[in-house]
Structure 1
Amino acid sequence: MTAPFGQAGTAKYVQLTTFRNDGTPVATPLWAALDGDKLVMWTVTDSWKVKRIRRNPEVLVQACDARGKKAFGDIVKGTAEIQDAGGTERTRKAIAKKYGILGWITVKGSQLRRGDGGTIGLAITPRE
Structure 2
Amino acid sequence: MDDALRDRLGAGKYLLVTSYRKNGTPVATPVWVVRDGDALGVWTVADSWKVKRIRARADVLVGPCDVRGNPTGDQVPATAEVCDPATTARYRKLLARKYGVLGRLTLLGSRLRRGTDGTVGIRITL
Bigger helix share: 2
Structure 2 residue aligned with 1:15: 16
Partner of 2:56: 55
Q: TM-score, normalised by structure 2?
A: 0.93
Q: CA RMSD in A?
A: 1.3
- Identity between Structure 1 and Structure 2 (%): 53
Partners of 2:38 and 2:4 in 1: CA distance? 9
Q: Secondary structure at the match of 2:124?
A: strand
Instruction: Note the alpha carbon deviations across 1:33-88, whole angstroms, 9 max, x for none.
Output: 111111100000000000000000101111111010x2122312111110011010
Letter in 1 for 2:22: N
Is 1:104 paired with 2:104? yes
Structure 1 partner of 2:84: 84
Compute the displacement of 1:11 (Å). Answer: 1.2
2: CA distance between counterparts of 1:2 and 1:32?
Answer: 16
Bigger strand share:
1
Whether the 8 Å CA contact 1:61–1:75 is kept in 2: the answer is yes
Give the counterpart letter for 2:79 in structure 1.
T
Counterpart of 2:23 in structure 1: which amino acid? D
Query: Which position in structure 2 is the counterpart of 1:121?
Result: 121
Counterpart CA distance in 1 for 2:56 and 2:4 is: 28
| Pairs within 5 Å for 1:20-59 | 20-59=21-60
- Secondary structure, counterpart of 1:23 in structure 2: coil
- Answer whether contact 1:19 1:56 (CA < 8 A) is retained: yes
Q: Is the 8 A contact 1:57 1:81 kept in 2?
A: yes
Return the TM-score normalized by structure 1.
0.92
Structure 1: unaligned runs, 5 residues or longer:
none
Structure 2, unaligned runs of 5 or more: none
SS at match of 2:68: coil
Cα distance, 1:29 vs structure 2: 0.5
Amino acid at match of 2:17: L
